[in-house]
Structure 1
């Protein structure tokens, strides 16, 4: 299947150069000149990988990467004119999978793109073939029998608690908003004043966590939502 790559850079020459190299490798490319336009494209289309420049007007690549990671887990390769170690650390900490300093060899970038796509496809295949059992540290979830164990102990969850935990576990590392959790689990529109999700998260933590005030599994991302 043809891979679809989103190239986000305010430099038209770089976008065009990358498109030529990627398309010569049989990939499909779509270009965006800024991060705001890229986020809009992500709402409309699915991509297998994103190449994201750091230094852009309106919204930089770090901010864009963090927003993308709230909902999506496809590989992100960052490009930057900065080559300092701290800049690379910041880029990777924001959720990027790889980081390449400008100027770069296009052939090296292509090799990294292929490597990230291979890992992403293998991860998805492993996930699809093992969807009945989810293991995260000492937490095990059997989605077929709807059983949960933590630290080898059986945990009894209500159907709604289990549905929330399964949703978060299947989207490990991705922040899910309260609205998305509610609408996915309850299958109805969310009302901003509704504290239902928060109450259920508290109950899940009481059952899973050794110290619910310092959760290991279900983390709060303030102002955004929850994630595992």
Structure 2
């Protein structure tokens, strides 16, 4: 298996050293930066398979790094947040992070999250490769158009700036338009992990997709079914 390259941005030098050694033992290459500014420079200049991004750091904090990277960045980002700080977690997801993990965490839990994200990316790449060997896959539902060959989604002719996770969630909902999709289903099939109690990751990602669609078309295309999940509406209501 090809060694995956991870960028760790965290000002805790001791933790960075421990994680570098641990992940190296699991066949990962790790580049670490001890402040947000140098981490942002690395993320902008080099290609990484995943970024581990701490929130509280000098020079630039994790949120400022996310803003600088932009909401449509392609490298998956796992935020490392303070234990119990829901506001940090939600803000990180709203700014484009793919997932979060609260400190302190067990190394095995971090490894499981990393593998889940990379497994999801691998599945998408395999699906895209398969589609490129066929006729170009396109889907048009309720003024939303998907071109999987180019990984572009547009609404009424305007391209949506989506993160990788947002793209996957929206295409998953489009493929099942008109059906109620549970948060647990989205978490397991898209995020590649079971939904845990009080986990709002799916809610925030779906909220981001809804907000970006509404910025182009004021007709809400995603219906929330209380206690059940979400429905992507098949046609304008």
Quick check: TM above 0.5?
yes
State the SS of the aligned residue for 2:32: strand
Query: How far, CA to CA, are the matches of 1:36 and 1:149 in structure 2?
Result: 33
Which one is further off, 26-35 or 126-135?
126-135
Deviation at 1:135, TM superposition (A): 3.6
Query: How far, CA to CA, are the matches of 1:133 and 1:123 in structure 2?
Result: 14
Task: Output one character per residue of 1:190-223: Cα deviation in whole Å (capped at 9) or x when no partner.
Answer: xxxxxxxxxxxxxxxxxxxxxxx96239xxxxxx
From the superposition, tell whether residues 122 and 66 of structure 1 become closer, same or farther in structure 2 (CA, over 3 Å): farther
From the superposition, tell whether residues 106 and 135 of structure 1 become closer, same or farther in structure 2 (CA, over 3 Å): same
Deviation at 1:130, TM superposition (A): 2.7
Deviation at 1:87, TM superposition (A): 2.2
| Structure 1 segments unaligned to the other structure (5+ residues) | 152-160, 175-212, 218-228
From the superposition, tell whether residues 36 and 137 of structure 1 become closer, same or farther in structure 2 (CA, over 3 Å): farther
1:74/1:120 contact within 8 Å kept: no
The residue that corresponds to 1:14 in the other structure is: 15
2:7/2:30 contact within 8 Å kept: yes
From the superposition, tell whether residues 57 and 142 of structure 1 become closer, same or farther in structure 2 (CA, over 3 Å): closer
Matches within 5 A, 1:80-91: 80-91=81-92
1:82/1:101 contact within 8 Å kept: yes
Query: How far, CA to CA, are the matches of 2:34 and 2:106 in structure 1?
Result: 21
Which one is further off, 57-66 or 69-78?
69-78
State the SS of the aligned residue for 1:130: helix
The residue that corresponds to 1:127 in the other structure is: 128
The residue that corresponds to 2:145 in the other structure is: 140
Which one is further off, 87-96 or 6-15?
87-96
Deviation at 1:86, TM superposition (A): 2.2
Query: How far, CA to CA, are the matches of 1:32 and 1:108 in structure 2?
Result: 22
Query: How far, CA to CA, are the matches of 2:154 and 2:4 in structure 1?
Result: 38
From the superposition, tell whether residues 136 and 53 of structure 1 become closer, same or farther in structure 2 (CA, over 3 Å): farther
Higher relative contact order (CA 8 A, sep 6+): 2
Query: How far, CA to CA, are the matches of 1:143 and 1:119 in structure 2?
Result: 16
State the SS of the aligned residue for 1:16: helix
Deviation at 1:124, TM superposition (A): 2.4
2:72/2:96 contact within 8 Å kept: no
Aligned length: 161
TM-score, normalising length: structure 2: 0.59
Deviation at 1:56, TM superposition (A): 0.5
| Structure 2 segments unaligned to the other structure (5+ residues) | 165-213, 219-237
Task: Output one character per residue of 1:70-109: Cα deviation in whole Å (capped at 9) or x when no partner.
Answer: 4522221111224222222112212111111111111110
TM-score, normalising length: structure 1: 0.61
